[in-house]
Amino acid sequence: MTMAGRATDPGAEAGLSERLSAGAQALGLGLTADRQGLLLRFLAMLVHWNRAYNLTAVRDPLEMVAKHLLDSLAIHDFLFGDRVLDVGTGAGLPGIPLAILSPERRFWLLDSNGKKVRFVRQVVLELGLANVEPVQSRIETYRPQGKFSTIVSRAVAADDILRAPTAQWLARPGRLLLMKGRETEEPLDTSAFSAAAPRVHRLSVPFLDVSRHLIEIRSD
């Protein structure tokens, strides 16, 4: 495997592998050699495609390990059930890393951006991810064929997710997981999901100094 940019030599590739391994260990996740290999191949594709398609503002592969791979994997233990929808997946985040780590689950990766969905489709094809289905659609026109046990979003604003028909898509019981930066004190209208208040979890992402939080909303 070769990496674009700074990761064009075996030493740089080893550095990426070591950082990913150390970060996964810090998160308490056991990465097998094949799972780690798939994650690094996904990273290589993201670096390569990013040159032409501007999939992410992060250019440095070493930064991508923390800001994209480990940040995505940090919510792994909050996943519930076996059907997961990633809303506004962009370049496949957090859906692709989570799908690689959880081959027993099925993931639907939803985005309206054609070039990003094309990238995700290519990742699915090249990595042989049989448990991932890319979907190009706007949130408001998406009509899923079934309900999801977990719905996750990393890039879409919380209010936009809550205004969308996500409550209709979520199974009962189910989990809506909203990945955010700084903790917000603004109240969220979660009445369509449950009478229980949202749970806010502070995430500690290895090699990432910025604040990260997860808003967990449960449907009962």
Helix (H, G, I), strand (E, B) or coil at 149: strand
Walk me through the domains of the chain, giving residue ranges and CATH numbers: 10-69 (no CATH), 77-219 (3.40.50.150)
What is the pLDDT at residue 3? 44
Q: Residue 116: which of 157, 143, 86 has the closest Cα?
A: 86
Q: What is the pLDDT along the chain (220 residues), one digit of tens a residue?
A: 444 433 456 667 889 999 999 999 999 998 999 999 999 999 999 999 999 998 999 999 999 999 999 999 999 999 999 999 999 999 999 999 999 999 999 999 999 999 999 999 999 999 999 999 999 999 999 999 999 999 999 989 888 898 889 999 999 999 999 999 876 656 788 878 876 789 999 999 999 998 999 999 999 8
The C-alpha atoms of residue 124 and residue 112 are separated, in whole angstroms, by: 17
Residues 6 or more apart from 18 whose CB is under 8 A from it? none
Q: What is the layout of strands, in order, in the sheet containing 148-153?
A: 132-136, 106-111, 83-87, 148-153, 170-180, 212-219, 199-203
Place of tokens 């991810």: 129
